[in-house]
Chains A and B, each alone.
Chain A
Amino acid sequence: MSATYSHAPGFVAGDRPKIVTSRFEFADSFTLDRYLATNGYKGLRAALSRPANEIHDDVKSATVLGRGGAGFPAGTKWGLTPQQVWPKYLVVNGDESEPGTYKDRLLMERDPHQLIEGCLIACYAAGLSQCFLYIRGEMALAQERVAAGLNEAYVAGYVGKNILGSNFSVDIILHWGAGAYVVGEETALIESLEGNRGMPRLKPPFFPAVNGLYGQPTIVNNVETLANLPWLLCNGVDAYTAVGTKTSPGTRMVAVSGHVKRPGVFEIINGTTTFRDLIFGEEFCGGIRNDKQLKAFVPGGGSAPWFTADQLDLPFEASQVGPAGSMLGSGAVIVMDETTDIPAAALTLTHCYAHESCGKCTPCREGGTWLERILRRIVDGDGTDADLQQLLEVGAMICPGDFPHAANAQLGLTAVPFPYKMTTICFVGPSAFAPVHSALTLFRSEFESRVTKRVTIPVTAVSAVKKVTPVGAH
């Protein structure tokens, strides 16, 4: 039976391999003392005792996938920077704000030294001269714990000048945001770090690996991705790839929230654990609350198209979830039971993305707001049947062509694979449409029963209006 640690609310341990959450069971997991007593900074020591390019090769052959959403292998990403341009920077993306997701916050609050060590290993292996650790503004405790961790690590000689007495020197600068979802996008994060409004940059030319922070080659890695590195360096590539599958090795953290009996954050085995395990398995969420029926679930954070019971047996493996019409994203499953008001549920997400649009791209700025307004009047009972078509037309301005959705046997639908085409720079715009499209495709009847049929006023009726006697005396 799995245990929840009261000092790490939300996190549920279990009898599974633990790569990034191994210290969560200790109440003092965030201190340097505890860290050093549990293999802390041994990965760094192991890394520094070998040439940097070998460490880079290790990370490449272990296929450490990016845990931020896109799932791009970290080792490959590090290799994309130009060879002769210096300095290069590391920017750590701790601006976790995707609806449904929280793992980076726990990793920063509960084990800041693991993240710090991961940053150091990345800087050493990829030759990055300065590291900026960007934490979401609203996460006061994470900022506090990482600041305290960095202060301890600097004093103890693990960060800063001549680390462990070697010729490896790097500063890790704690930086924090101020409340903007879009800054989780890597180019917007860089803009924000330069002190500007956090609006995404167009790629090309602004691929961070080539033209990032201050125009220099910049690696942007997610917190969880970097938190994997100390364990990898301590235990070796073979031990790492022994967990999970060939294409998705290791573990990953997944938050399952919504209408389940025991919502929680779990470190699961990558590639093999299925959505059914997660939602219904006794060691995970234990089924739907009050033993109701599952209606739908969001498989990969608020931006992901929805799945229904038909997709429960898919594993947490990008190469299978993509063709099935959605994405794994940032490791967040949101479960809806049969009592869920689907249009209202979609509205909460569309409202979020419309609200968080930075305003740079017209389809997102205008389209997101339109989607929200139309959806709101449907939910409020003021919509007409024309609104349903209007939703899809507005969505097609943001994402032209077929939008991904899941197969559904009952409705006779076949899957449209991920990804979609988009007319915006980043994914905020499409994300506003994703819940609307999923809800409309899979649960259209719930919308139809809610809207009134549009009444067309015939021309004769208009002329009839003129004959009406005015109300009141004139």
Chain B
Amino acid sequence: MSRLTDKNLVIAKEIIARYPRQKSALIPLLHLAQEQTGYISREAMVHLGELVGVTSAEVYGTATFYEMFRFEPIGKYLVNICGTMSCALMGAHELMHHAEKRLGVKAGGTTQDGMFTLAHAECQAACTEAPCLQVNYRYRLRVSTTDLDKLIDDLEAGKLSEEIPAHGVLAKVRQHIAPDRVVGAVSPELVNQAPAWLNGKAAL
């Protein structure tokens, strides 16, 4: 089963409550589902639809627009090698060829042992540190072919499991708002006047 677990359901409800419209929580919730199973299953999409009050088709429609969401299992480590201009000028294509040879799969493929998925990525915002790559969205900068070999060795040996969690986990810190500090979602149905501090006086 890959509906959200009870623990994740609590997190999901906390996230949904922050938005004036429930559907706004969809992308964070899809990430939560992906964190749970490593990919997004049909059952998860049905469940998310129930939670935010839309059909599972609508969930599917949103989910399939975004590249980070996967709908079938992929490798434990997703290796995204940037191939956009700054990285390409500094040898990204050579790095990709090396990675394909080393892992024995073409870009887009997953190794037979289910450890690695290799992918071509567009600009990852580390252009001065080219060529760069991300493993499960954790950066490696100015990567040489030797660095890449070492990285794969370390990942295979489990040396980086502390820093790089399995595919699906993004930020390891979640936002949490204590009940006594929260203002609550400001929805257009509930609020139709200017906020209190716009009264021409200083707030403090």
Contact = CB atoms under 8 A, between A and B. Distances in A.
A49 B202 contact: yes
Contacts, number: 262
A167 B66 contact: no
A139 interface: yes
Given A51-B201, A193-B24, 5 more contacts: A48-B204, A89-B186, A154-B181, A161-B181, A161-B183
B177 interface: yes
Given A161-B180, A197-B61, A336-B89, A151 B173 contact: yes
A138 B141 CA distance: 15
A176 B89 contact: no
B160 to A, nearest CB: 14
Chain A interface, >50% SS class: mixed
Q: Kindly state the interface size class of chain A when it binds its partner.
A: 35 or more
Given A9-B141, A214-B21, A100 B173 contact: no
A105 to B, nearest CB: 5
A26 interface: no
B195 interface: yes
A175 B171 CA distance: 12
6 contacts: A48-B203, A98-B123, A100-B85, A138-B134, A154-B177, A302-B123
A471 B109 CA distance: 41
A348 B93 CA distance: 10
A349 interface: yes
A214 B20 contact: yes
Nearest to A215: B188
Interface string B71-106: 000000000100111101110000000000000000
A334 interface: yes
Contacts of A173: 18-19, 175
B170 A198 contact: no
Interface stretch (B4-12, B125-133, B143-151): B125-133
Nearest to A344: B88
Contacts of A145: 173
A345 B197 contact: no
A132 B137 CA distance: 22
Contacts of B176: 151, 154
B119 to A, nearest CB: 11
Contact of A99 (B69, B86, B139): B86
A82 to B, nearest CB: 12
Given A334-B85, A349-B85, A50 B123 contact: no
Contact of A87 (B24, B65, B195, B196): B195
Contacts of A276: none
A168 B203 contact: yes
Interface stretch (A35-43, A66-74, A122-130, A451-459): A122-130
Given A195-B62, A197-B62, A102 B126 contact: yes
Contacts of B126: 9-10, 102, 105
Contacts of B108: none
A345 to B, nearest CB: 6
A369 interface: no
B191 A129 contact: yes
A349 B84 contact: yes
B75 to A, nearest CB: 17
Contacts of A267: none
Contacts of A193: 24
